[in-house]
Structure 1
């Protein structure tokens, strides 16, 4: 069983796509423990395995081998129905592309999620956390890219997930807008105690993490702990 003091406990996680000579070994035996409320940044080149690892942690993909526990849930070997319930009840996702519904306002996009959540926060509270209350009745096309990404974060956190998984959340944004989005993610981590795991190509973002996990060739190459976490406003790249 996973330890109750850990959000995640992974042992020997592997993931193989395809078979035979064309098989791709995306993960080759990853061991990882994640503590509640941690802010982790995953760094690595394209093909290092970081998106595969994030997708497995989020229940979007299943490992080919190894053990994975989330709190007292065993995710390795879980059924599709169990993984769906895990994603719905415990995980908020933020991707590089915002996946907002164009015909719905900011408020309506976020309210959609509250229908499937067991104890959601009030919609306007989530909008307020990302600083967009004045834009709540706007449609996605009326928002900048950074504002759309903040809506996507509000949609991810409105159900009060224990876990916020972000895949290149600033990848499509300019410098100043990217920092704004990172401020929001850091705020969620600090104010709500949400465990946050962020994938990025941008090594500068690593300075705001508790721990930085470097992946390469499907393996954790090294893990570094920041003695002092920088605020997003202190980052430069």
Structure 2
């Protein structure tokens, strides 16, 4: 696998293309019923952009994120990461892709309760090739004073920030956030979105956020709307809002 780390943020379509999605479909069989979760979806993602995948529950956005993250394979179509066709990759290559290139942030944190914030992040840095130190990763998300606290001693927003620190500590090129504010209240959600925005701007990490919340789309460079497994709109924001300007 090639080197995945980029040092600088570039400007969207004038930037290198990171990811190509070509005609991706995903079908699930439930007894005699076939469910089309995705239907011939195509899109490109560029270095350093922050994209929001917007849609209601069942629109296919989580399925697409799982395929992009190498957690699932499409029924048909192709996915390319810097020219490497992931849909034709070996399991060893997919494991390397997930390990080196992808940082995941989920709705429910997935922290280990018996480990401190620092130790939860260290789990990733111990196996990464060129990690940020756990201390620096937690400082980047504003938790330098909470490093030695266990998850039960942290608020929901703080736990989510630990999860973001864990994801960014290995310097991923793609940060994939699945409903990162879904379990949080309004004010805490905005704090978490501010952290995601700062990671995108300061580290140049190409960032994909999936959400059903239309207001969150205002902070994106680009908004891709899915409905019933299809892309119904792909647009760029003429004015990108800061998370502090968002309201819902």
Q: When the two structures are superposed, what TM-score results if normalisation uses the length of structure 1?
A: 0.96
Asked if 1:41 corresponds to 2:64, the answer is no
Question: Who is 1:140 aligned against?
Answer: 151
Q: Distance in 2 between matches of 1:8 and 1:36?
A: 9
Q: Does 1:73 align with 2:84?
A: yes
Pick the aligned partner of 1:95 from 82, 106, 120: 106
Q: Distance in 2 between matches of 1:209 and 1:13?
A: 23
Q: Does 1:59 align with 2:79?
A: no
Unaligned runs of 5+ in 2: 1-14
- The C-alpha deviation readout for 1:119-151, integer Å capped at 9, x for no partner, is 001111100000001000000000000000000
Corresponding pairs, count: 234
Paired with 2:231 and 2:116, the residues of 1 have a C-alpha distance of 41
Indicate the residue corresponding to 2:171 in structure 1.
160
Aligned to 1:233: 244
Quote the offset at 1:113 in angstroms: 0.3
Task: Tell me whether 1:198 sits opposite 2:205 in the alignment.
Answer: no
Aligned to 1:10: 21
- 2:93 equivalent to 1:82: yes
Residue 88 of structure 2: SS of its match in structure 1?
coil
Scaled by the length of structure 2, the TM-score of the pair is 0.92
Shift, 1:20, TM fit: 7.8
Structural mapping, 1:111-122, within 5 Å: 111-122=122-133
**What's the secondary structure of 1:83's corresponding residue?**
helix
Residue matched to 2:230: 219
SS in 2 for 1:89: helix
Q: Secondary structure at the match of 2:87?
A: coil
Helix, strand or coil at the partner of 1:98: coil
